[in-house]
Structure 1
Amino acid sequence: MKGILLVNMGGPQSLSEMRLFLKNMFSDKYILPLPFGLRQFVANMIAKKRHPSSWEKYQLIGGTPIIKHTEATGKALAEQTNLPVYTAYSYTPPFIADVLDKMVADGVDEIDVLTMYPQASDTTTTSVFTDVKKAAKKLNGVSIREICDYSVHPTFLEYWKTLIEEHIEREGLDNPLLLFTAHAIPMYGVKRGDKYPDTVKHMAKRLAGLMNRRYEVAFQSRVGPVKWVGPDTDDHLEELVVAGEDNFVLIPLSFTTECLETVYDLNIKLVDIYKKDERVKHISRVEIPVAHPLFIETLKRVVNE
């Protein structure tokens, strides 16, 4: 029997799970490329130090939407494909290995692994597939297929085009500058060969071309002292305002669910502040709907293709 494993990063739903989330994330060699022992030590230190302040941010946005939105996506995809869809997470329960065990126990022996990350990256898709391969070694007679990048799939581009154009019409805007923003990755990953920034820029170019609209690309949510891929969304937005731009629509291009990085980093830290800035006539953000039909159709098609 064939089934789909839909994977996302996960999200903390309590203060203690916030600490677990941070520990697991920074224990990931694709997030923090240090020797195992040192990585575990640093991960524990980061989790201990940052989990109270990080949890405060989650409380400001009413808790993480990731779990609920991912589960809704899985349910809708199951209805459209007539296949069993199981959801798993990298950094909070239910974890990938546990869900794979359940799939096999349920009689699934052909598994399509699909992530909620549209652009391939070592920090996301490679990390997920590494965990899948590790867990699959213990499973006998199971076929695994990895689906790693659907960023420029025609249906996915149509999905984003629809969201953007509907937003612009609803806001009554005339020729806004589209500021595509994606989660940043550290430059050490790019130097190792991660093509994620180029993939994001390519998708933005394709999408803006379909709409014949002006655009810029930036990268958000940097943490820590290391150098990250840029330009940084916060800094670049200010540069554009200083240069005379005053009409913006922010588009969270690397995200498929609402999360801390969209609601807090974009809405609270940027949009809400610049709405009060006299230099800016308009600023808003395209919100990510839950299980939009065109997004579900994208996932269905990449599975079938």
Structure 2
Amino acid sequence: MERFAVLLLNMGGPDSLDAVEPFLYNLFSDHDIIEIPKLIQKPVAFVISKFRAKKTRHYYELMGGKSPQREQTEMQAKALQKLLPEKFIVKVAMRYWKPFIEEAVKEALQEGAKGFILLPMYPQYSKTTTGSSFNEFDRVYSKLGLNLPVVKIKSYHNHPLYIRAMVENILSSVKKPEEYFFLFTAHSLPVKVIERGDPYKDQTEETVRLIMEHFPKVEYALGYQSKVGPTQWLKPETEELLKKLITSGKKKIVLIPVSFTCEHSETLYELDYLYYNLAKELGVEEFIRVPTLKDHPTYIELLKELTLSAFQELERQPSDSAYTQSKS
């Protein structure tokens, strides 16, 4: 029986406090994130990671000493594997920490993979997330001299099952939605990335709009978080929005991470520590943070549907073809 690999692409996170600095080095060495001359990319990444490591290490100390992203992505992989036929091999493939994309590809090949489906854990496409993982896969593919069919799932930000999973997840945390203000939060990006045609902002806004069609009586806003560096990033910033909402009289707020499917520092530190404490200081009455999807049954059903649809594309490719297909 021919077998095919499904790579769940995610960022990855430090699995110990000692891993924080090398994780940051890998992150800032990525030209898809920091666009500086490649000749000095790694030296600059070394300096940045040294400079930021102590502060970032503190974040992870508050989170219990590591990121839970690997374990949660493995939960997603295990849940998806149960729903798929035996011919599929589901592997976790991280961009900046173990298990790296190359490791996942090699393991899949050892288990007999005759083709690859790249399935990002990022619902909205950006060149800095999904695009970066695709580029790394392409480098590994070339390095290993592969000549196998590949399908790349680009995004699923408006897929009905994704929207349903988000709505169900919100309703499991909020019993009377109409009594609250919904504050959506997404990871920010430099404005220059969007101006070059990156669809992330438009896709994120569409996701929020489709979710809110299920809550017609609820007020809402979308903010962006996790800005790094002095350049102009997407606005409004989630933190500033939160301040304005509470000081203007909004006392019941639901915080909804919309671009994350696993917990990590952006949710466990920024949302649950920084924003929670800020909201309490400003006198909020109720502050509910909706968890990320993780292995929510409807989300896993979506991953199954995306995989089976992508496999139809894979079957149409010649078995000896190195052609790669992007599928939105």
Please indicate, yes or no, whether the TM-score normalized by the shorter chain is above 0.5: yes
| Of 258, 266, 274, the match for 2:271 | 266
> Aligned-pair RMSD on alpha carbons?
1.4
Matched with 1:194 is: 198
Is the 1:184–1:229 contact (alpha carbons within 8 Å) kept by the matching residues of 2? yes
Matched with 2:314 is: none
Gap regions ≥5 residues in structure 1 = none
CA displacement at 1:58 relative to structure 2: 0.6
Matched with 1:175 is: 179
CA displacement at 1:289 relative to structure 2: 4.9
CA displacement at 1:277 relative to structure 2: 2.9
* Residue-by-residue CA offset, 1:273-302 (whole Å, 9 max, x unaligned): 313433x22221101254111111111111
Matched with 1:255 is: 260
Q: Give 3-state SS (helix, strand or coil) of 2:214's partner.
A: helix
TM-score, normalised by the number of residues in structure 1: 0.95
| Of 89, 96, 101, the match for 1:84 | 89
TM-score, normalised by the number of residues in structure 2: 0.88
CA displacement at 1:201 relative to structure 2: 0.7
Structure 2 CA distance for aligned equivalents of residues 223 and 106 of structure 1: 40
Structure 2 counterparts to residues 1-305 of structure 1, below 5 A = 1-62=3-64, 63-82=66-85, 83-137=88-142, 138-169=144-175, 174-212=178-216, 213-278=218-283, 280-305=284-309
Opposite residue 14 of structure 2, the aligned amino acid is P
Opposite residue 269 of structure 1, the aligned amino acid is L
Q: Give 3-state SS (helix, strand or coil) of 2:227's partner.
A: coil
Opposite residue 153 of structure 1, the aligned amino acid is H
How many residues align structurally?
302
Higher relative contact order (CA 8 A, sep 6+): 2
Q: Which contiguous aligned blocks of 4+ residues in structure 1 show a shift greater than 3 angstroms? A: none
CA displacement at 1:168 relative to structure 2: 1.2
Is the 1:15–1:51 contact (alpha carbons within 8 Å) kept by the matching residues of 2? no
Opposite residue 40 of structure 1, the aligned amino acid is K
Gap regions ≥5 residues in structure 2 = 310-328
